[in-house]
Amino acid sequence: MKIISYNVNGVRAALNKGFIEWLISANPDVICLQEIKALKEQLDLTLFEDAGYNYHYWFSAQKKGYSGVAILCKTEPNHVEYGTGIESMDFEGRNLRVDFDGVSIMSLYLPSGTNDARLGHKLEYMSMFQAYIDQLKLEHPNLVICGDYNICHEEIDIHNPKMKGVSGFLPVEREWIGDFIASGFIDSFRFVNPELQQYSWWSYRANARANNKGWRLDYAMVSETIQEKIKRAVILSDAVHSDHCPILLELEI
Is 26:250 a contact under the CB 8 Å cutoff? no
Amino acid identity, position 171: P
From first to last of the 253 residues of the chain, give the pLDDT tens digit: 999 999 999 999 999 999 999 999 999 999 999 999 999 999 999 999 999 999 999 999 999 999 999 999 999 999 999 999 999 889 999 999 999 999 999 999 999 998 888 999 999 999 999 999 999 999 999 999 999 999 999 999 999 999 999 999 999 999 999 999 999 999 999 999 999 999 999 999 999 999 999 999 999 999 999 999 999 999 999 999 999 999 999 999 8
For this structure, is 44 an active site residue? Answer: no
Which segments of the chain does DSSP mark as H helices, in order?
Answer: 11-15, 19-26, 46-50, 87-90, 116-139, 171-182, 188-192
Q: 3.60.10.10, 3.30.390.50, 1.10.10.60, 3.90.550.10: which CATH number matches 2-251?
A: 3.60.10.10
Which listed residue (29, 99, 148, 157) is catalytic?
Answer: 148
- Domains of the chain, by residue range, sit at 2-251
pTM higher than 0.95: yes
